[in-house]
Amino acid sequence: MHRYARTRLGAAEAEDVVAEVFAIAWRKGEIPDDPRAWLFAIARRVLANQVRAERRRTALAERTLRHPKAPGPDDARLVDELDVLHRALALLRPADREVVELLAAAELSTAEIAQVLGCTTASAATKVYRARRRLRAAYRTVTEGQET
């Protein structure tokens, strides 16, 4: 079992896989007529889960490297700006807010937004344009309210 896991993973990860395989086998309780093949089938699934988990961790690490660092303690201006933006978003209709969130927070393209919303790309582009325009207006409303 360990040799099989070592063909795909490092030593420490292979030991984790072997431990997981036998933990799963123990929980199942019944041992089939051909336990060797059964254990290898379990190991195959555990390995696949390990590989998927490693891909997710790598993708997350890459995404965190692409994004800027969090603001420092002395960057109060950015915190204030985010507060204004949150208040402006709160003024939007839910449909516009959803489009802005898909565009900015989820980092989706217009074509991907169209798929999420179940509309054509042209219709999604129009929704994006209008939502941005309404967000700009809401932002102006919030900032003008702060000045008075």
Q: Which of 1-5, 43-47, 143-147 has the lowest mean pLDDT?
A: 143-147
Residues 9 and 33 both lie in one domain: yes
Considering 73-87, 96-110, 125-139, the range whose residues carry the highest mean pLDDT is: 125-139
Encoding tokens for residue 44? 């195959």
* 60 and 119 in a common domain: no
Q: Is the pLDDT assigned to residue 36 strictly greater than 50?
A: yes
Tokens coding 38: 């059964």
Q: Is residue 12 located within the same domain as residue 48?
A: yes
User: Considering 45, 66, 87, which residue would you say is the last residue of a domain?
Assistant: 66
Same domain, 43 and 98: no
Return the pLDDT at 18.
Answer: 92
Q: Is 53 exposed, middle or buried (0-12, 13-18, 19+ CB in 10 A)?
A: exposed
